[in-house]
Amino acid sequence: MHRIYVASDFTFLSPSGCLIGAVNLKSSNRTPVVQEFESVELSCIITDSQTSDPRIEWKKIQNGETTYVFFDNKIQGVLVGRAEILGKTSLKIWNVTRTDSALYRCEVVARNDRKEIDEIMIELTVQVKPVTPVCRVPKAVPVGKMATLHCQEGEGHPRPHYSWYRNDVPLPTDSRANPRFRNSSFHLNSETGTLVFSAVHKDDSGRYYCIASNDAGSARCEEQEMEVYDLNIGGIIGGVLVVLAVLALITLGICCAYRRGYFISSKQDGESYKNPGKADGVNYIRTDEEGDFRHKSSFLI
């Protein structure tokens, strides 16, 4: 279905359905995809126009904000020094970065045409290969306990998906989906890179590693060993009993020591010796000549 623009009393359409005497645009690629630090051309081609020198504008739309990248016949903003106009209307960008991923709008104003304005949208995707992800694997987990393995990567664009391997065998997102893992109970979130075991089994022991991948490439972390071991219930009970027995012996020894007077303060004995009790009615004084005690008063009768 074609739009019809009315000019006075007549409307003229070309065989392709475009209005004759009106500016019309097309693009050879509306969704270009490029690797980071490469160059890319955003194609915007005028197919019909009666205006020899139309006004060209390019705008970048990202995160809800619209900014100029080509205006008043000059490159603007973040593209200054690494972009140019090709063939009158197309935009070429060198050394693209992940921040260049956005919608770009090519706008053409042709004052001498019946339809003066046309625009076209280009969606640019800049891909970034993931770097080595950071993996965290518990070294040892007792049988029946929960275990969580983590894998994270922050550079890839678009955001990578994650997959886990055990002993070089890829793990499904749900252990119940594959009979090979019927003795396991785990769930893998490929968006976050988290591998969760609800209750580990002996068969879950092994070497684990994670791979982060997107359309630009992939990267893996170093494998790490996870050991699943049995709890020695008998040993635990025996250890508790030994500790209780030791505590009982210590308590018994302290009680016996108190009964035998080993904890009576020797200070008290010394003070008793130095300060003997005085008999009623008798005062003792010490003289320099005698160097010893003598009576100061006689006994009361």
Mean pLDDT across 91-117: 93
CATH hierarchy code of domain 24-127: 2.60.40.10
Separation of alpha carbons 41 and 45, rounded Å: 12
Give the global pTM: 0.61
SS3 at position 276:
coil
HSE toward the beta carbon, residue 155, CA cutoff 13 A: 13
Question: Which region among 5-14, 80-89, 183-192 has the lowest average model confidence (pLDDT)?
Answer: 5-14
Token pair recorded at residue 199: 């209750």
pLDDT band at 244 (very low <50, low <70, confident <90, very high): confident
Mean pLDDT across 73-84: 95
Strand partners, 1: none
- Given this model, what pLDDT does residue 281 score? 52
Nearest to 31 by CA among 103, 101, 123: 123
Helix (H) or strand (E) holding 151: strand 147-152
pLDDT tens digits, one per residue of 133-188: 999 999 999 999 999 999 999 999 989 999 999 999 999 999 998 989 988 999 99
Q: CB count, 10 Å around CB of 72?
A: 8
- Given this model, what pLDDT does residue 264 score? 63
CATH class of 134-229: mainly beta
Are 193 and 208 in contact by the 8 Å Cβ rule? The answer is no
Give burial (CB, 10 Å; 0-12/13-18/19+) of 249.
Answer: exposed
- Given this model, what pLDDT does residue 265 score? 57
Please report, for the chain, the start and end positions of each structural domain, with discontinuous segments joined by +. Answer: 24-127, 134-229
Higher pLDDT, 123 or 113: 123
Mean pLDDT for all residues in the chain: 83
Higher pLDDT, 18 or 160: 160
Mean pLDDT across 62-79: 95
Separation of alpha carbons 297 and 288, rounded Å: 18
Mean pLDDT across 244-261: 78
